[in-house]
Structure 1
């Protein structure tokens, strides 16, 4: 097949989750065209902020073990803003946050802190292996 032989050697590479998210949540009064079929990827629409927040927190929590155990170096959230009837954004179509900024900051900070801890563990393991 096409991918059975690579034309070059694959050396160490950064692991990137190229797209995650896609949580549908339409905030009433902040839609592109209200009542015309807003949608989110995966076919699941969250009907209130609490359900949306719980789903978003679940996504962030699923990334945490991938940082150390899986060596994940980056993850790209899809998508930052709602685009027309796609309601997958962290911000509404008119660019208002769907959740309090403090909540989003907490999720982001937890990922950053986990990454820092993984980096420290990796450095300690490397140092002890050299000894």
Structure 2
């Protein structure tokens, strides 16, 4: 059993963590992907949410969160080229994990997790 008592927040990376896309066949260029997202299509339709990640996310954000005074905040971290891509990734996570995550996607590919962690620490007043 996981001991979640000291977890204050969790930030999840999108690509190859929440969304495994090794067989990805979606449109490679940014403009076509963003147009697809704006038209309501899912450019990550052929991607999978790994079983172990679904299990972990459920354990952290539903089971334990119900027993605490406040839930454990979740954030989505990813390097994106446009805000439309960030919206698309957020929608994919909501659809596949049934969880809304704070969007901490950033345009800077290098050290995007560090940038997101700084945003996360400054945004939340933790329980």
Task: Normalising by structure 2, report the TM-score.
Answer: 0.34
Task: Normalising by structure 1, report the TM-score.
Answer: 0.33
Return the index of the structure with the highest Cα Rg: 1
